[in-house]
Amino acid sequence: MMPVDRFGAIETHGLVRLAAATPEASVADVGTNAKAILQLARQAAGQGADIILFPELCLSSYAIDDLHLQDALLDRVEAEIGRLVHASADLPVLLVGAPVRRNGRLYNAALVIAGGRLLGVVPKSYLPNYREYYEKRWFAPGAGLTGLNIDLAGYRAPFGPDLIFAAGNRADFIFHVEICEDYWAPLPPSTFGALAGALILCNLSASNIIVGKARDRDLLSAAQSMRCIAAYAYSAAGYGESTTDMAWDGQAMVHEMGDMLAQSARFGDAPEIIYADIDAQRLRLERMRNGTFNDTAEAMGHPEQRFRRVTFEAAAVGDREGLFRPVRRFPFVPADPLQLDADCYEAFNIQVEGLVTRFRATAGKHFIIGVSGGLDSTHALIVAAKACDWLGLPRSAILGYTMPGFATGEHTKANAWRLMNALGVKGAEIDIRPTARQMLADMDHPFAKGEAVYDVTFENVQAGLRTDYLFRLANRNGGFVVGTGDLSELALGWCTYGVGDHMSHYAVNSGVPKTLIQYLIRWCIATNQFDAETDAILQAIVDQEISPELVPADATGAMQSTESRVGPYALNDFFLHHIVRWGQPPSKVAFLAWHAWRDVEAGAWPSGYPDEAKLSYDLPTIRHWLDNFLYRFFTISQFKRSAIPNGPKVSGGGALSPRGDWRAPSDGGASVWLDELSDRMGPGAKSE
Q: What is the CATH number of the domain that holds 141?
A: 3.60.110.10
pLDDT score recorded for residue 209: 80
Interval 253-278: pLDDT, tens: 999 999 999 999 988 788 899 999 99
Q: Is the pLDDT of residue 460 over 60?
A: yes
pLDDT score recorded for residue 6: 47
Q: Is residue 644 part of a domain?
A: yes
User: What's the rounded mean pLDDT across residues 12-21?
Assistant: 92
Confidence of residue 685 (pLDDT cuts 50, 70, 90): low
506 and 626 fall within a common domain:
yes
pLDDT score recorded for residue 50: 96
408 and 523 fall within a common domain:
yes
Q: What is the largest CA-CA distance in the chain?
A: 101
Which residues participate in catalysis according to the annotation? 56, 124, 180
Strand order of the β-sheet with 231-235 is 259-263, 252-256, 231-235, 200-204, 174-179, 163-167, 308-312
Interval 555-573: pLDDT, tens: 666 667 888 889 999 999 9
Numbers of helices and strands, H then E, in the chain? 21, 20
153 and 27 fall within a common domain:
yes
32 and 103 fall within a common domain:
yes
In 3D space, the residue among 627, 465, 609 whose CA is nearest the CA of residue 543 turns out to be 609
Judge contact between 179 and 204, C-beta under 8 A: yes
Give the C-alpha separation, 97 to 105, whole Å: 17
Q: Is residue 9 part of a domain?
A: no
pLDDT score recorded for residue 564: 84
Cross-strand partners of 580? none
What is the rounded average pLDDT for all residues in the chain? 91
Q: Is residue 453 part of a domain?
A: yes
Last residue of a domain, one of 312, 347, 373: 312
Give the C-alpha separation, 521 to 381, whole Å: 11
pLDDT score recorded for residue 270: 83
Query: CA of 254: how far to CAs of 228, 261, 290, 325, in Å?
Result: 14, 5, 22, 10
Pairing label, strands 155-159, 148-152 = antiparallel
Q: Is residue 553 part of a domain?
A: yes
Q: Is residue 497 part of a domain?
A: yes
Q: Is residue 1 part of a domain?
A: no
Lowest-confidence segment of 45-54, 260-269, 610-619 by average pLDDT: 610-619
Q: Is the pLDDT of residue 2 over 50?
A: no
Q: How far is CA 14 from the centre of its chain?
A: 15
Q: Is 266 helix (H, G, I), strand (E, B) or coil?
A: coil
pLDDT score recorded for residue 603: 59
Q: Is the pLDDT of residue 414 over 90?
A: yes
Give the C-alpha separation, 216 to 184, whole Å: 10
Binding residues: 130, 207, 213, 370-377, 460, 484, 489, 494-497, 640
Give the C-alpha separation, 248 to 240, whole Å: 8
533 and 607 fall within a common domain:
yes
pLDDT score recorded for residue 4: 47
pLDDT score recorded for residue 1: 37
Lowest-confidence segment of 362-376, 377-391, 474-488, 556-570 by average pLDDT: 556-570
Lowest-confidence segment of 86-100, 170-184, 308-322, 637-651 by average pLDDT: 308-322
Question: What is the number of structural domains in the chain?
Answer: 2
Q: Is the pLDDT of residue 614 over 70?
A: no
Give the C-alpha separation, 76 to 270, whole Å: 25
Distance between the two ends of the chain, CA-based, in angstroms? 18
Q: Is residue 2 part of a domain?
A: no
pLDDT score recorded for residue 10: 64
Binding residues for L-glutamine: 130, 207, 213
365 and 305 fall within a common domain:
no
pLDDT score recorded for residue 660: 84
Q: Is 628 helix (H, G, I), strand (E, B) or coil?
A: helix
Give the C-alpha separation, 618 to 637, whole Å: 27
Confidence of residue 7 (pLDDT cuts 50, 70, 90): low
505 and 410 fall within a common domain:
yes
Give the C-alpha separation, 471 to 198, whole Å: 54
432 and 361 fall within a common domain:
yes
Domain holding 367: CATH number?
Answer: 3.40.50.620
Confidence of residue 688 (pLDDT cuts 50, 70, 90): very low
Judge contact between 248 and 237, C-beta under 8 A: yes
211 and 301 fall within a common domain:
yes
* Residue burial 315-335, b: 16+ Cβ < 10 Å; e: rest: bebeebeebbbebbbbbbbbb
Q: Is 198 helix (H, G, I), strand (E, B) or coil?
A: coil
Q: Is the pLDDT of residue 39 over 80?
A: yes
293 and 392 fall within a common domain:
no
Strand locations in 57-186 (E): 93-102, 105-114, 117-123, 148-152, 155-159, 163-167, 174-179
Helices (H), 89-159: none
Confidence of residue 248 (pLDDT cuts 50, 70, 90): confident
Q: Is residue 359 part of a domain?
A: yes
Percent of the chain with pLDDT over 70: 94
Give the C-alpha separation, 494 to 488, whole Å: 8
Interval 68-117: pLDDT, tens: 999 999 999 999 999 999 999 999 999 999 999 999 999 999 999 999 99
Q: Is the pLDDT of residue 234 over 60?
A: yes
Q: Which domain holds residue 73?
A: 17-312
User: Nearest 10 degrees: CA dihedral of 601, 602, 603, 606?
Assistant: 20
27 and 88 fall within a common domain:
yes
545 and 621 fall within a common domain:
yes
Confidence of residue 551 (pLDDT cuts 50, 70, 90): confident
